[in-house]
């Protein structure tokens, strides 16, 4: 049993004009594909072989840097592709919206805080909306770390993630990360985020 690069639920051009097809194709096939292959190499022949990615990340502090970086990269992109969809965006409803309003004051307040976490993450990393002990928390991590990792400052279940590595936006937005972040809100798949929130 080895980790497999998942197919996307939509075409590479489906998130245009917000995220361009060329970026999506390279990001999925080369970057995510690379993390997947390197993760398989890194666990091969070790006691991590055959474990779920969640189990590996939960104990990643005692694993190699290759497992941390590529295991994080594998998991993070699996999540990322599913929390975006064509014709999505807008606002969540129901329980998730109630929780967002409760913890962040308003949906606009939540968006501001999340966007700020994404914009101010220095260098490469991710912004996250995390479910933690029945509350919602916004955080960001460096490189391919994530809140499932035992070494993460904020530990919990990520339900929305935004990749702010330059490879995620540079072809279309160059150095304009805030424009990419603003565009992201047009493709957020709130149905999937709600599913993860309830799960």
78-107: which residues touch Mn ion (CB under 5 A)? none
Report the alpha-carbon distance of residue 170 to residue 167 in Å, rounded.
Answer: 6
Nearest approach in angstroms of CB 5 to Mn ion is 13
Of the pair 31, 38, the CB lying nearest Mn ion is at 31
At closest approach, how far in Å is the CB of 126 from Mn ion? 8
The answer to whether residue 145 forms part of the interface with Mn ion (CB under 5 A) is no
CB of 31: closest distance to Mn ion in angstroms? Answer: 5
Distance, CA of 162 to CA of 181 (rounded, Å)? 8
Judged by CB, which is closer to Mn ion: 145, or 163?
163
User: Mask: binding to Mn ion, 22-41, rule CB under 5 A, as x and -?
Assistant: ---------x----------
Within the chain, residue ranges assigned H as helices are: 21-26, 33-43, 53-58, 65-82, 94-104, 107-120, 170-173, 177-184, 190-198
Instruction: Rank residues 104 and 169 by Cβ distance to Mn ion and give the closer one.
Output: 169
Tell me if 159 sits within 8 A of 129, measured CB to CB. yes
Phi, psi at 197, each rounded to 5°:
-65, -45
Q: At its nearest, how many Å lie between Mn ion and the CB of residue 80?
A: 7
Instruction: Work out whether 163 is an interface residue with Mn ion (CB under 5 A).
Output: yes
Residue nearest to Mn ion (CB): 163
Q: Tell whether the torsion through CA atoms of 80, 25, 90 and 139 is positive or negative.
A: positive
Site of interaction with Mn ion (CB under 5 A)? 31, 163, 165
């Amino acid at each position: 049993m080895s980790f497999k690069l998942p197919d996307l639920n939509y075409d590479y051009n489906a998130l245009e004009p917000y995220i361009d097809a060329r970026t999506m194709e390279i990001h999925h096939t080369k970057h995510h594909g690379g993390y997947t292959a390197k993760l398989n190499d890194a666990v091969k022949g070790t006691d991590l072989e055959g474990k779920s990615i969640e189990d590996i990340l939960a104990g990643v502090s005692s694993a190699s840097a290759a497992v941390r970086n590529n295991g994080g990269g594998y998991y993070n992109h699996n999540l990322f592709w599913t929390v975006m969809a064509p014709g999505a965006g807008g606002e969540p409803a129901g329980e998730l919206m109630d929780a967002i309003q409760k913890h962040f004051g308003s949906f606009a307040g939540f968006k501001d805080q999340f966007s700020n976490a994404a914009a101010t993450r220095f260098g490469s990393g991710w912004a996250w909306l995390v479910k933690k002990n029945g509350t919602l928390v916004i955080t960001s991590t460096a490189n391919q770390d994530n809140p499932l990792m035992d070494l993460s400052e904020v530990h919990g279940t990520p339900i929305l993630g935004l990749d702010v590595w330059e490879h995620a936006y540079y072809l279309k937005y160059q150095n304009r990360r805030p424009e990419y972040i603003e565009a992201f809100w047009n493709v957020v798949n709130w149905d999937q985020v709600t599913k993860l929130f309830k799960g």
